[in-house]
Chain A
Amino acid sequence: MTTTTATELGPLLDRVRAGREFGANVYSTLDVLQVLYDRVLRITPATVDDPDRDRFLLSKGHAVAGYYALLAARGFVPPEWLDDQGGPASRLGDHPDRTLVPGVEIGSGSLGHGLGLGVGTALGLRAQGRTGPRVYVLLGDAELDEGSNHEAIAYAGASGLGSLTAIVLDNRSATYGWPGGAASRFTVNGWSAATVDGRDHDALHAALTGHDDHRPHVVVTDGE
C-alpha cells in the first residue's frame, strides 16, 4: 500500500506548531488531506472562486494546523503566513475563517456546523444545475455526538443527496463511542459507506471516489 509519514507537510507543520503540541486530531488529517488535494478535489489556487469547483469543508476546525500546512504546500496561502498563526496580525486563527483565508470554504471551529452547510451547498449547486462539483465535508468521530449532524445525516440520506461525501476521521474520541462503528450511523440513513485505514493512500483514494452518485457517501477512517 502507498503510505506517507507526512514528510512533505512536516516542515510546514512545524512552522504552524511553533513549539506547541498537536494531538491525533491534527495528525490524523494529514493523509486524507493529501489524498484529497492531490488526487480527488478539482480545485487549485486559480479556481477558488470558480462556481464549478469541488468544495472541501473542514468541519472539525480545531484540527486546522494540517489544513493550513496543506494550503501553504499547494500554493493557496503564502508559507510565511504560517509563522505567526494565531497572532494578532495573522489571518490564520486557531479555527479557520473563510473570509480571511483563500481556498477555505467555511469558517468552522464550533463542532456540528460543517455537514449542514455542506448539505446546503450541495442543494444550491443542484438548484443551479451544476452537476459536476462534489462537496466533501471532513468531520471527527466525536463531532458526530452533535445533534445537528444527526439532522444532516438523516436528511441527506432521505433526499438522496448524491453529490455529498462526508469523511469521518475516527480517532475513538467520542465520549461514549459509536457501537457498530461510525459508518452504521450513516448507512442506516441510506448512505453508502467505506471504512478504510486512514494511512493507506490508495485505499483512501478508492474510498473517496467510491460514491455512486445516487445517494450520499461516507468514508470512515479506522484510526489509532
Chain B
Amino acid sequence: MRDAFVTSTEEVLADPRTTVVLADISADAFEPAAARYPERVINVGIREQLMIGVAGGLALTGQRPVVHSYAPFLVERAYEQIKLDLDHQGVGAVLVGIGGSYDRAAAGRTHLGPADVALIDTLHGWTVHVPGHPDEVRPLLRDVVCGQDSAYLRLSIRTNSRAYPEAGDLRVVRDAGPGAPLLVAVGPVLDAAVAATADRAVTVAYTHRPRPFDTTGLRTLAGTEVILVEPYLAGTSARVVSEALADRPHRLLALGVGREDLRRYGSAEDHEHWHGLDAAGLRRSVDAFLT
C-alpha cells in the first residue's frame, strides 16, 4: 500500500496546490518526486509536531497538504497540532499513516498505533479511509486530495485478496437474507471475517470508509444482531453504530485490537491471533455472541 501511495502522490503532485510534508519516514521513496517538485515535497526531518504545523500553514495559504509518517508518530505524537493547527484554524489536510495497529510488531510498543482512528474520531468532520487492498489506495487518495476538508488515509501491510475500490458505503459481500446477523468488516480484516462466518447465516458487508460511516446502509442491512470488526482499537465505531440504531432493539459486538500493552514482539500475524482478529478468533467471538 505504501508503494501505491507514493505512485499516486506523484500523480496528484501535478496539481500545483498539492504539497507533500514528510518527517523522514518514506523520504527515500519520495526522492524522485522531490527532485521534480523541490518546493512541494518538504521533508522537515524527524519533527512530527512541525510536520503538522507546516501543513496548517501551507493550508492557510491555499495549498493542499499531504502529510505522511508512521501512524503512531503522525497521529499520536502530534495530536494537539492536529487539533489546533488544522481543525481550529479552519483548514484541512490529508494525513496518510502507515504502520497502524501492529504492522511492525517486532519493533515493540513504540511502533504500535491501534488508537489512531479513535483519536481522529475525537475531531469533527474528518473522512477516514482504511483501504483493504493496494488497488483501493489510488482512487481514495485522489478523492481526498481533491477535497478541502481533512482526511486520514490509514495504510497497512495487511490486505484482503480482492479490492473493492467503490466500497465507501457498505458493500454486501455475502447476503444471508433479511433479518440475518450483520457483520461489518472495515478494511483489511474482511478476508478473515468472511472465512470465520463461512458456514453461518451471517450477512457480511465491507467498507473502507469508517468516517463518515454509512449509517443509511447500516440501517437498511441490520437486523437485531450487529458485529463490527475493525483493524484498530476495539469499539472505535461502536458509538456511531449505536447512535444509528438507537431507535431499534439491537445487540452489538465490537471487535478489534485490545487496549492492553501485550509486551510481545513477533509478527503482525501473531498479533492478529492474540487479538482474536484471525479467522479462528473471530469465529469464537461470533459463535459466543450468536449462541
| Chain B 36-75 interface 0/1 with A at a Cβ cutoff of 8 Å (1 = within) | 0001101011010110111111111111010000000000
In whole angstroms, how far apart are the Cα atoms of A44 and B105 in the complex?
55
Write out, one digit per residue, whether chain A residues 120-151 have a CB within 8 A of any chain B CB (1) or not (0): 11111111100000000000000000011001
Q: Knowing that A113-B81, A127-B39, A128-B16 are A-B contacts, what are 9 other residue pairs whose CB atoms are under 8 Å apart, sorted by A's residue number?
A: A110-B84, A113-B84, A113-B85, A123-B58, A125-B61, A127-B19, A128-B62, A128-B63, A155-B44
| B-chain residues with CB within 8 Å of residue A51 when the two chains form the complex | 61-62
Whole-angstrom distance between the Cβ of B117 and the nearest chain A Cβ: 24
Q: Give the residues in chain A near B148, CB-CB below 8 Å.
A: none
- Complex Cα distance, B47 from A158, in Å, reads 13
For chain A, the count of residues having a C-beta within 8 Å of the partner chain is 31
The minimal Cβ–Cβ distance linking A48 to chain B, given in whole angstroms, is: 13
Please, how many angstroms separate the alpha-carbon atoms of A158 and B44 in the complex? 10
Asked if A148 contacts B49 (CB within 8 A), the reply is yes
- The answer to whether B89 has its CB under 8 Å from any CB of chain A is yes
- Whether A98 is near chain B, meaning CB under 8 Å from some CB there, is yes
Residue A152 at the chain B interface, CB threshold 8 Å: yes
List of B residues within 8 angstroms of A121 by Cβ: 57-58, 60-61
Q: Are A98 and B89 in contact (CB under 8 A)?
A: yes
Specify which chain B residues have a CB less than 8 angstroms from the CB of A155 in the assembled complex. Answer: 44-45, 47, 50
Given known A121-B61, A124-B60, A124-B61, contact A151–B89 (CB-CB < 8 A): no
Q: Give complex CA distance A116, B62 in Å.
A: 16
Q: How far is the CB of B59 from chain A (nearest CB, A)?
A: 8
Cβ-based interface call for A118 (8 A): yes
- Which residue of chain A lies nearest to B60 when distances are taken between CB atoms in the complex? A121
Q: Counting CB contacts under 8 A, is A105 at the interface?
A: yes
Interface contact B61-A117, CB-CB below 8 Å = no
A154 to B44, CA, bound (A): 9
A181-207 residues with Cβ-Cβ distance < 8 A to B are: none
CB contact under 8 A between A124 and B62, given known A99-B90, A113-B84? yes
A105: which B residues are within 8 A, CB to CB?
Answer: 60
Given contacts A51-B61, A116-B53, A116-B56, contact A124 B47 (CB under 8 A): no
- DSSP majority for the A interface? helix
Number of interface residues of B (CB under 8 A): 30
Query: How many angstroms between the C-alpha atoms of A140 and B88 in the bound complex?
Result: 21
Give Cα A107 to B55, complex, Å: 15
A38 to chain B, nearest CB (A): 25
- A residues near B (Cβ < 8 Å) are 51, 97-99, 105-107, 110, 112-113, 115-128, 147-148, 151-152, 154-155, 158
Residues of chain B within 8 A (CB-CB) of A115 are 53
Q: How far is the CB of A2 from chain B (nearest CB, A)?
A: 33
Min C-beta distance of A219 to chain B, whole Å: 20
Cross-chain contact B81 with A116 (CB below 8 angstroms): yes
Instruction: Pick the residue among B16, B49, B65 that contacts A116 (CB under 8 A).
Output: B49
Contacts of A126 in B (CB 8 A): 39
Is B80 engaged at the interface, CB distance under 8 Å to the other chain?
yes
Residue of B nearest to A110 (CB): B84
**Are B53 and A147 in contact, with the CB atoms below 8 A?**
no
> With the chains together, A97 CA to B50 CA distance in Å?
21
> Given A106-B60, A116-B53, A116-B57, A98–B80 Cβ distance below 8 Å?
no
Smallest beta-carbon distance B50→chain A, Å: 4
Name the residue on A nearest B49 (C-beta): A148
Considering the complex, which residues of chain B in the window 77-133 have a beta carbon less than 8 Å from any beta carbon of chain A?
80-81, 84-85, 88-90
- In the docked arrangement, what's the CA distance between A110 and B59, Å? 20
Interface set, chain B 1-58, CB cutoff 8 A to A? 16, 19, 39-40, 42, 44-45, 47, 49-50, 52-58
Contact B55 A120 (CB under 8 A): yes
Contact of B53 among A98, A99, A119, A154 (CB under 8 A): A119
Flag if A152 contacts B50 (CB, 8 Å).
yes
Given known pairs A116-B81, A117-B89, the reply for A124 and B63 (CB within 8 Å) is: yes
Residue contact A127 to B40, C-beta cutoff 8 Å: yes
Q: How far apart sit A126 and B58, CA to CA, in the bound complex (Å)?
A: 10
Partner of B90, one of A98, A119, A158: A98
The smallest C-beta distance from A223 to any residue of chain B, in angstroms, reads 26
Q: A151-B49, A152-B50, A155-B47 are in contact. Are A122 and B88 (CB under 8 A)?
A: no
Q: Which residue of B lies closest to A115 (CB)?
A: B53
Please report the C-alpha to C-alpha distance between residue A119 and residue B80 in the assembled complex, in whole angstroms. Answer: 17
- What's the minimum C-beta distance from A105 to chain B, rounded to whole angstroms? 7
